[in-house]
Amino acid sequence: MAPAESKLLLTDRAISSSNHVPSNYIRPVGDRPNLLDVESSTSVPLIDLHGLLGPARSDVIKEIGSACRTDGFFMVKNHGIPEEVVREMLRVAREFFHLPEAERLKCYSDDPSRTTRLSTSFNVRTEKVSNWRDFLRLHCYPLEDFIREWPCNPPDFKQVVGEYSKHARALAVRLLEGISESLGLERDHMVKAMGKQAQHMAINYYPPCPQPELTYGLPGHKDPNAITVLLPDGVSGLQVLRGQKWVAVEPVPNALIINMGDQIQVLSNDRYKSVLHRVIVNNKSERISVPTFYCPSPDAVIEPAEALVDDDHPLRYRSFTYGEYYEKFWNRELLSASCLDLFKASQ
């Protein structure tokens, strides 16, 4: 058997390092999670999307706008993804990470440009401190362009994940329409701003960690895309920064977690803010989460909506392509919250 330190994936190293965190995962003392200084999530907005389909639409739009302005994140229920589709997605995700090492490694790559890849931490090519996470990253839209690259095991992986990804895309589009309306824009403004659009998914796997106070699943960061739809498995781990306090976002049965990404902050000319969030780990149970990242296409030109630029709200960002932004995101080691400062408009 190969020594633990030679294993490519944390899942396989962790089995052999059950009593301690390897040194390359240990954060500097000033950069460790203070697990005792975290607030509970009793006040996280929970929005019922059922009203989007009827006369209460304007009320739901107001709720979405309020959550985007004040927090940058919220939960949704009655979101339109069938419970069976959600259950199957989590089942097949868990089964994938429980496959034998050799089977999982068929998907391994440390190249962030690959459209289907299994990897570990964040970017092993550039980072100096590792994160307590393995992940399978999939491009999902257009589905027919990418599904053939996906894992063949578990045998129903492509069918189950493909079905979930279609529902997740439909939800993301409905939310982008609501966000547009909440800003006083045409309903289709945000969707059109995505160009040909893109959709990525990460299936995150966080094994139990013997010393969770020393490391992160992911440190504080903001998402580079437009909007993220997160499917949690019921195990706590996600925390968001509200004011100066980290808030634990406890999973709610049948609810999904939504957070704004950097592109919404740019398109809204800073009316709405991308949310800083992190993932902590625990020493008792594994955790799985499935974020869907709805993105502009790489060639889409991103810039603030003209209607949101005026004397009171001067232009905050220059024009750029999403491909330019995304490349900088993957090469920055998660050392800063986001890359937005690199794209500020000259004043």
- The alpha carbon torsion through 65, 67, 68, 69 (nearest 10 deg) reads 80
Single out the residue of 302, 295, 307 nearest to residue 340, CA to CA: 302
> How far from 233 is each of 81, 86, 173, 263, 319, CA to CA, in Å?
15, 10, 23, 27, 38
Residue 335: the pLDDT is 54
pLDDT digits (tens, 9 = 90+) for 306-336: 999 999 999 999 999 999 998 888 776 655 5
d(CA 124, CA 203) in angstroms, rounded, equals 17
**What's the pLDDT at 336?**
56
Taking the C-alpha atoms of residue 49 and residue 60, their distance in angstroms, rounded to an integer, is 7
Q: How far apart are CA 88 and CA 97, in angstroms?
A: 14
Say how far apart CA 26 and CA 288 lie, in whole Å: 22
Task: State the pTM of this model.
Answer: 0.94
Which domains can be identified in the chain, with CATH numbers? Answer: 10-301 (2.60.120.330)
Give the phi and the psi of residue 294 in degrees, each rounded to 5.
-90, 125
- Which single residue is written with the structure tokens 């296409």? 297
Instruction: Print pLDDT tens along the chain (347 aa).
Output: 445 567 899 999 876 557 889 999 999 999 999 888 888 876 789 999 999 988 999 999 999 999 999 989 999 999 999 999 999 999 999 999 999 999 999 999 999 889 999 999 887 877 889 999 999 999 999 999 999 999 999 999 999 999 999 999 999 999 999 999 999 999 999 999 999 999 999 999 999 999 999 999 999 999 999 999 999 999 999 999 988 889 999 999 999 999 999 999 999 999 999 999 999 999 999 999 999 999 999 999 999 999 999 999 999 999 999 999 988 887 766 555 678 888 999 75
Say what the pLDDT of residue 1 is. 44
pLDDT tens across 157-181, in order?
Answer: 999 999 999 999 999 999 999 999 9
